[in-house]
Amino acid sequence: MTMIGKIFTVLILIMSCVFMTVAMMVYATHKNWRAEVKGDGAGKAGLEAQITELKTRETALLQDIDKLKMKLEQERAARTYAIAALNARLELQDASLLRLDQENERLVKSEAEMKTNLELAQNNAKNLQAEVAQLRTDIKTAESSRDASFDEVVALTDKLQQYRVEEERLSERAMQLAQQVARMTKVLAANNLDEFTPVDNVPPQLVAKVTAVNDRDLVEISVGADDGIHEGNTLDVYRGDTYLGRIIIKQTQPDRSVGEIIKGYRRGTIKKGDNVSTKLG
């Protein structure tokens, strides 16, 4: 094989590689235009469906444009009507402004007169304020004097009422005391006593129990100083209807006392639980 043949062989080989590469690139970029137009059936819409959708959107947009044009015309008509109404109101405002200017001129003239009258009124007000201040001072003085007199009258009235109530209470108490003295005098006379009879060693009327007895003729009873028992008081002891003797108190405590059996009055054996009384019924 000659040199030219070798060169052509190499060129053919290179061109084959180039054409093969181009063929691969063309195959790689190849599209199924039918699928692109109709869709691939896997959920992807084709160009035909997209065009239909775009036409539908175009129709909707054209309808929206028509609606907006109609609304714009309505807005223009409404604006024209509003402008006409505003012009009418402007004319009315101009007429009102003219009237206000005239009224303002009249008020300016009236203001000058009112200033003069105001100065006179201010002078009169100053004089009246001075008079009112003096009257207030006089009224306060009179009110203070009246309040003082009223307080004094109230205090005296209260005292008088208190004295009357106290007088009634004392009169009622005096009557009670007189009745009590009469009853006490009757009781003293019935018992051959008078107001000078000593009663220091007379115990109060009560009934108690013997709580303990020992072999030294000492007896403990269930009443004491809180019940009015004092040392030297004498009490009688009995069991049922049987008189047992008399004791004389030797020692007292708030809730109990200790007495000694008086031998001359012994009529029986005193035991725990026997009754003790300052006066036998």
| pLDDT 10s digits, 192-240 | 666 666 655 566 678 899 999 998 889 999 999 888 888 989 999 999 8
The overall pTM is greater than 0.75: no
Domain with 228, as residue range(s), is 207-277
Question: Does residue 235 lie in a domain region?
Answer: yes
Q: Is residue 238 situated within a structural domain?
A: yes
111 to each of 115, 118, 120, 124, 203, how far by Cα in Å?
A: 6, 10, 14, 19, 108
Higher pLDDT pick, 218 / 32 = 218
Site of tokens 């009327």: 205
pLDDT score of 281 more than 50: no
Whether 42 maps to a domain, the answer reads no
| Candidate from 42-46, 117-121, 130-134, 179-183 with smallest mean pLDDT | 42-46
Is 242 inside any structural domain?
A: yes
Residue 225, domain member (yes or no): yes
Domain count, the chain: 1
Please say whether the beta carbons of 265 and 280 come within 8 A: no
Mean pLDDT in residue range 69-77: 90
Q: The CATH number of the domain where 258 resides is what?
A: 2.40.10
- Does residue 20 form part of some domain? no
Residue 249 exposed, middle or buried by CB count within 10 Å (0-12, 13-18, 19+): buried
Residue 269 domain-assigned (yes or no): yes
The whole-number pLDDT of residue 280 equals: 47
Cβ(224)–Cβ(257) below 8 Å? yes
Residue 239 lies in a domain: yes
User: What mean pLDDT comes out for the span 244-263?
Assistant: 93
